[in-house]
Amino acid sequence: MASYYDYDDGVSHYGATGEVGPPSGLEHTGYSDTDLLDVADAEKPRLLLMGLRRSGKSSIERVVFHKMSPNETLFVESTTKIEKDDIISFIDFQIWDFPGQLDFFDPAFDSEMIFGQCGALVFVIDAQDDYLEALQRLYMTVTRAHKVNPNISFEVFIHKVDGLSDDHKIETQRDIHQRISDELSDAQLDNIHLSFYLTSIYDHSIYEAFSKVIQKLIPQLPTLENLLNILCSNSGIEKAFLFDVLSKIYIATDSSPVDMQSYELCSDMIDVILDVSSIYGISDKDSPSSTSTPTSPTADGDAHALIRLNNGMVLYLREVNQHLALVCLLREDNFEKQGLIDYNFRCFREAILEVFELRRKGYSNGNGAADESRSTGKAYGTVEESDWNRRRAG
Ligand SMILES: Nc1nc2c(ncn2[C@@H]2O[C@H](COP(=O)(O)OP(=O)(O)OP(=O)(O)O)[C@@H](O)[C@H]2O)c(=O)[nH]1
């Protein structure tokens, strides 16, 4: 049975009742110093968080992956060393949070090692501040990283936009895009592609942006989208999201356009279910079949929930496995055939598990997938609980 879990730092986390230490889903190693890289770290896909001091890098990481409330980030201390964070969830990767005052010309700065296995580089710009210096740093970072590893995807978060009017947001994004594109084009580096996102930790925009960043690291994305499309068209579902429950990042959605309101509703539903199940659900110890420490909201790993909205729509959540949940939005009329929807969901779940099972086998046999992961920085999801336990023990 899952519950919110309090670390010493008072941050709420999703984990298993009665566990001592970090919850099974999310572990913060909090170690520093690049010299201590071990082999396992070197193999994990890496996501770098860079930007000037106080731009909001650590806050983003804490809010998205450690459930810190946005207001608490006011007290986050400045990062002085590279902080690595193992995200052991459905998406198994490492986040490296860099200090703002990073010096690229320091001989200790090993570009090859840092950018070599990087899948994505997220550069955070404080939109409430003068951003000219940040743009210079962005240019320097992108050109250096691209030289070492041309496969990195560059993601620019134009951050703290909660303090800006809608017009100002658009104008800032346009200006930043224009300036950096001009600089890259002057240096004949037009082949470097940057993606821009308007973000704030005070709303869902940061989750939405991170979802898109992470999706680029998931090689199975087209298959997942296809499966979701098939599910939606055969079950009368208007919109479906496949969520990583721990982070509330959606790892895939069907191909109909994402509208922010539907996304927010589906994402909020996960919070509601976790909160309710942590208070009223069956505890892990109560379950006779309980042998391990599942992060599933129910003992049998088959959680589902339904919320009827006052506009004739229904929100329906089904647990896929301990890390993933499907949340969909459909018309109440279509929900009359719930049996059909549930049957289709079971087929969908089997297909998803098969996709990742194949990948996992490739990964653990070392027959190509792992090598591919190392060179592209892609994240390989796995589904077997035993596998998770093995990794945690390691
Ligand atoms: N208004 C607003 N403030 C934010 C947002 N994100 C972060 N902040 C604030 O920005 C300040 C700096 O955040 P940090 O996360 O420490 O910034 P950092 O980039 O990690 O800073 P260094 O560790 O010094 O490099 C904190 O006071 C946060 O509360 C946001 O989306 N909106």
Q: pLDDT tens digit string along 346-390? A: 999 999 888 877 655 555 554 444 444 444 444 444 333 333 233
Rounded Cα distance between 308 and 112, Å, is: 53
pLDDT number for residue 4: 27
Contact 2, 17 (CB under 8 A): yes
Determine if ligand 1 sits within 6 Å of the CB of residue 76.
Answer: yes
Look at residue 53 and tell me if it is in a domain. yes
| Residue owning tokens 């109440």 | 332
**Using CA atoms, how far apart are residues 172 and 169, in angstroms rounded to an integer?**
5
Task: Answer yes or no: are the C-beta atoms of 216 and 120 closer than 8 Å.
Answer: yes
Cα of 246 from ligand 1 centre, angstroms: 22
Considering the domain architecture, whether residues 61 and 208 belong to the same structural domain is answered as yes
DSSP bridge pairs for 328: 240, 316
pLDDT category at 276 given cuts 50, 70, 90 is confident
- Picking from 191, 217, 243, the residue at the C-terminal end of a domain is 217
* C-alpha dist (Å) from residue 102 to 2, 133, 139, 140: 39, 14, 14, 12
> In this predicted structure, what is the pLDDT of residue 274?
83
pLDDT at 347 (0 to 100): 93
Measured in angstroms, how far is the CA atom of residue 200 from the centroid of ligand 1? 10
Q: Could you tell me if 89 and 204 lie in one domain?
A: yes
Give the pLDDT band (50/70/90) at residue 111.
confident
Better-scored residue on pLDDT, 163 or 254: 254
Confidence (pLDDT) at 285: 55
Query: Of the residues 64, 76, 123, 206, which should be mutated to test ligand 1's pocket, given the most ligand atoms within 8 Å of the CB?
Result: 76
Is residue 99 within 6 Å of ligand 1 at its C-beta?
yes
- CATH number of the domain that 53 lies in? 3.40.50.300
Which range among 102-116, 248-262, 291-305, 372-386 shows the weakest confidence by mean pLDDT?
372-386
CA of residue 351 to ligand 1 center, whole Å: 41
Pocket test for ligand 1, best of 53, 54, 61, 66 (most atoms within 8 A of CB): 54
Q: What average pLDDT does the segment 210-233 reach? A: 91
Give the Å distance between the CA of 79 and the centre of ligand 1.
11
Residue 354 located in a structural domain: yes
Query: What is the band of 158 on the pLDDT scale with cuts at 50, 70, 90?
Result: very high
The token pair at 202 is 């005070």
Task: Tell me what the mean pLDDT of segment 158-187 comes to.
Answer: 93
Taking each helix axis from N to C terminus, what angle separates 166-186 and 132-148, rounded to the nearest 10 degrees? 50
Nearest CA to ligand 1 atom 21: 54
Which tokens belong to 205? 């925009």
Tokens of 288: 């006779």
Contact 98, 49 (CB under 8 A): yes
Length of the chain: 394
Residues contacting residue 70 through CB under 8 Å, at least 6 positions apart: 59, 63, 201, 202
Q: Examine residue 48 and state whether it is found in any structural domain, yes or no.
A: yes
pLDDT of residue 113: 84
Domain enclosing residue 185, as ranges: 41-217
Token look-up 């994990």 returns: 44
In whole angstroms, how large is the CA radius of gyration of the chain?
21
Residue 100 CA: nearest ligand 1 atom is 25
383 in a structural domain: no
User: In whole angstroms, what separates CA 64 from the centre of its chain?
Assistant: 7
Give yes or no: residues 60 and 155 share one domain: yes
pLDDT at 114 over 70: yes
Residue 93 lies in a domain: yes
Q: Is residue 8 part of a domain?
A: no
Binned at pLDDT 50, 70 and 90, residue 308 comes out as: very high
ipTM for the predicted complex:
0.98
> Which residues pair with residue 305 across a beta bridge?
317
> Are 213 and 271 in the same domain?
no
Same domain for 232 and 107?
Answer: no
pLDDT band at 67 (very low <50, low <70, confident <90, very high): confident
| Mean pLDDT confidence for 109-124 | 87
Provide the number of structural domains found in the chain: 2
What Cα–Cα distance (Å) separates residue 238 from each residue in 183, 221, 232? 42, 20, 7
Residue 18: which pLDDT band, with cuts at 50, 70 and 90?
A: very low
Query: Ligand 1 within 6 A of 80 CB?
Result: no
From the alpha carbon of 55, which atom of ligand 1 is closest?
Answer: 19
Residue 368 lies in a domain: no
Are 67 and 196 within one domain? yes
- Three-state DSSP class for residue 44: coil
Residue nearest to ligand 1 atom 14, measured at CA = 56
Range name among 83-87, 104-108, 266-270 with the lowest pLDDT average: 104-108
At residue 300 the predicted structure's pLDDT band, cuts being 50, 70 and 90, is low
Average pLDDT over residues 293-307: 64
Considering the domain architecture, whether residues 52 and 72 belong to the same structural domain is answered as: yes
Q: Say yes or no: 69 and 175 in one domain.
A: yes
Range with lowest mean pLDDT among 103-117, 122-136, 277-291, 374-388 = 374-388
Residue 150 scores a pLDDT above 60: yes
What integer pLDDT is reported at residue 79 of this predicted model? 83
Q: How many CB atoms lie within 10 A of CB 119?
A: 25
What does the alpha-carbon distance between residue 309 and residue 311 come to, in Å, rounded to a whole number? 5
Enclosing H/E stretch for 199: strand 194-199
Do 253 and 206 share a structural domain?
no
Task: Residue 255: give its domain's CATH number.
Answer: 3.30.450.190
Residues 102 and 87 in one domain: yes
DSSP three-state, residue 289: coil
pLDDT reading at 393 higher than 80: no
The answer to whether residues 288 and 275 touch, using CB atoms and an 8 Å cutoff, is: no
Give the per-residue pLDDT at 36. 35
CA of 56 to the centre of ligand 1 (A): 3
For residue 183, being part of any structural domain is answered with yes
How many Å apart are CA 66 and CA 247, to the nearest integer?
8
Residue 100 pLDDT class (50, 70, 90 cuts): confident
Supply the pLDDT for residue 362: 52
- What pLDDT does 382 receive? 38
In which band, very low, low, confident or very high, does the pLDDT at 202 lie, cut at 50, 70 and 90?
very high
Amino acid in the structure at residue 207 = Y
Q: Which of 48-62, 167-181, 308-322, 363-377 has the lowest mean pLDDT?
A: 363-377
Q: Is there an atom of ligand 1 within 6 Å of 174 CB?
A: no
Domain check: are 206 and 243 in the same one? no
Say yes or no: 71 and 121 in one domain. Answer: yes
Contact 54 CB / ligand 1 (< 6 Å): yes
Judged against a pLDDT cut of 90, whether residue 102 lies above it is answered with no
Residue pair 139/110 in contact by the 8 Å Cβ criterion: no
Confidence at residue 381, expressed as pLDDT on a 0 to 100 scale? 40
**CB neighbours of 347 closer than 8 A, spacing ≥ 6?**
none
Distance 50 CA to ligand 1 centre (A): 12
